[in-house]
Structures are given as C-alpha cells and as structure tokens.
C-alpha cells in the first residue's frame, strides 16, 4: 500500500470490505472502517504527503494485530521498545510504531494504535 497512490488504495480497501468514512481531496486524506462480527473495529487513516503515503491503523481486534505482526516477521527488521511503544524498523520499507493498552474491562480486548511511516526512499506511484 505504501507504493500505491491513494486512489489505488481506495479500490483495494473497498474490495476488502472496508467502508469509507470520510474523504478530503484538499488535504489528501481518507478514513476507512471495518466492523467485524466480534464487536471489534478497525479504523484506517491514509494520508498522502507529496509522493509518500502515511497510514494509521486503530483497532481493538487482536486477530488484525496478529496478522500485522506476522507480516512484519517476513522482512528484515529491527525492534526497539521506547517507553510503552514498540518500534519496528523494516529495511528498505519504513518504520512501524505500535502503542497498545487496555481500554476495557475485558482483559482479552486491547486497544492498538499502529502508525506506518515510509522510509524517505519509498514513494507512491501514480
């Protein structure tokens, strides 16, 4: 998704079942949501800044979090812990910042905020 322009990501996400919450052409931002049948949610924000794509994923779905972590393991990476934040630096791709905390009385539900920042050499194609 980091290599695609915001319009290509739009069609990919809509095909995956996400619904578009908002779209701002002037600021080049898009917000999507995916409701699951497990009373969880996934909110995804995309922002195009020049030729770079920034993503922010907000979820309380542990399965979505596990999918992201398992996909990180396929790439050469370096992991650091900075306070309550996990930072994964993926070679030739970018950095992923993950903040997790408990936000409900259910100990199995955790809130995850995941920010994906591309490397300066990773640009979106038109």
Name the residue with higher pLDDT: 108 or 26: 26
Among residues of the chain, what percentage have pLDDT more than 90?
A: 27
**What's the token pair of residue 121?**
């050499």
Mean pLDDT of 68-75: 88
Using pLDDT thresholds of 50, 70 and 90, give the confidence band for residue 103: low
| Domain ranges across the chain | 6-64+101-118
In this predicted structure, what is the pLDDT of residue 4?
65
**Cα–Cα dist 25/7, whole Å:** 11
In this predicted structure, what is the pLDDT of residue 84?
86
Residue 43 and residue 32 in contact, taking contact as beta carbons nearer than 8 Å: yes
pLDDT per position as a tens digit, 25-49: 888 899 999 878 777 889 999 998 8
DSSP structure class, residue 76: -
Strand partners, 29: 24, 47
Name the residue with higher pLDDT: 107 or 121: 121
Distances (CA, A) of 115 to 2, 15, 87: 12, 22, 10
The answer to whether residue 126 scores a pLDDT higher than 60 is no
């Amino acid at each position: 998704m980091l290599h695609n322009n915001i319009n290509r990501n739009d069609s990919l996400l809509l095909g995956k079942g996400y619904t578009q919450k908002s779209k701002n052409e002037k600021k080049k931002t898009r917000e999507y949501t995916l409701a699951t049948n497990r009373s969880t949610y996934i909110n995804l924000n995309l922002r195009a800044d020049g030729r770079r794509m920034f993503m922010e994923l907000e979820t309380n779905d542990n399965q979505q979090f596990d999918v992201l972590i398992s996909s990180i393991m396929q790439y050469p990476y370096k992991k650091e812990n900075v306070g309550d934040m996990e930072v994964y630096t993926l070679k030739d791709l970018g950095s992923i910042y993950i903040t997790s905390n408990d936000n409900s009385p259910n100990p199995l539900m955790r809130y995850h905020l995941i920010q994906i920042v591309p490397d300066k050499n990773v640009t979106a194609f038109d």
